Amino acid sequence: MTATEKALSASSSGRAGIAWMLLTTLLFVTQDATLRFLVQTYPFAEVAWARFAVHLAIAFVVVAVNSPSHLIAQRPGIQILRSTLLAVLTLLVAVSYKTLPFVDVAAIANVAPVLVTVLSVPLLKEKVGWRRSLGVLGGFIGAMIIIGPASLVFQWAILLPLAAALCNALYQIVTRLLRGGDSTLTTFFYTSMAGTVLCGLLLPFGWVTPDLTGAALMIMLGVLGACSHYCLIRAYTVADAATVAPFGYTTLIWAVLYGLLVFGESPSASTLAGGLVIVASGIYIFHREQVRAREAAAKSAAEGP
């Protein structure tokens, strides 16, 4: 393959990766919109259980058809921890959507990558320089811009999406620990296992038999969850992280559109301003990570074997 052909191939892969990521964010926000609609009528645990149970059923069929051996995890403890974090995250988001505007929750959720940088220091022993520290500070300032006016109305409720963002950050860090271990199919299967079990244990404490529309939406919720995770995997498979990761922040755009068109909610100026600050901070942190990775690779190449 010539240099030109390689460049064209990389460009094509990049476009495909971006397309997969844009589809991922659209599916995630559509899933959250469906979740928000359902929790207005049904108990949080019931809705979350339906989401995970359908996801688990889809994942089981996919893995069983491809290779049943992927049903067995090499690191079951880490897989269960990761799945548990996703279950807690989902429940927190469900409660958040019961009490907070749709766009506010989505905007605060974008602080998760910033929290990953903070938590990677004690948990992964990574070093964070002053430039990335400024990005972290910017992310927290963005969150405070959103929380400031909202806290006057909702008080403690605004802490729910922050707690969800923390769980999301821990979820991403635990996902990093699985690199080089279990296969993608194994991780895809275990993603919804703990949520199905834990939320299932809560069902006796609150159950409302869904009507036909409610049941259909619950099934759709699980399908959206499974498809969004599949698209995310595809995005990072066909293109490198440096190309696709920044487009993950398009969740804020989809959230604003859903808020306006579906829920009739206009985002406040503070929510938009804070959300943009968080997005800019996250992209800057990611940029600095890529710079450090290139510098480390260049240094390693210069030193030789």
SS3 of 21, please?
Answer: helix
CA–CA dist 136, 142 (Å, integer): 10
State the amino acid at position 296 in one-letter form: A
pLDDT in tens, 181-207: 788 888 889 999 999 999 999 999 989
In a domain, 58, yes or no: yes
What's the pLDDT at 12?
64
Report the chain's mean pLDDT, rounded to a whole number.
84
Other residues' Cβ atoms within 10 Å of the Cβ of residue 268: 16
The first and second tokens of residue 49, run together, are: 């259980």
Q: How confident is the model at residue 242 (pLDDT cuts 50, 70, 90)?
A: low
In a domain, 206, yes or no: yes
CB 240 within 8 A of CB 116: no
Q: For residue 32, give the nearest of 275, 298, 257, 243 by alpha carbon.
A: 257
Which residues, at least 6 apart from 126, have a Cβ–Cβ distance to it below 8 Å?
Answer: 120
N-terminal to C-terminal alpha carbon distance within the chain: 27
Q: How many domains does the chain have?
A: 1
Q: Provide the CA 30 distance to its chain's centre, in angstroms.
A: 13
In a domain, 1, yes or no: no
Helices and strands: H and E segment counts in the chain? 13, 0
Position 222 pLDDT exceeds 90:
yes
User: Residue 254's domain spans which residues?
Assistant: 12-303
Of the ranges 9-18, 42-51, 108-117, which one carries the lowest mean pLDDT score? 9-18
Q: For residue 221, give the nearest of 24, 93, 33 by alpha carbon.
A: 33
CA-CA distances (angstroms) from residue 98 to 37, 69, 194? 9, 40, 23
Question: Residue 268: left (phi > 0), alpha (psi -120 to 50), or beta?
Answer: beta
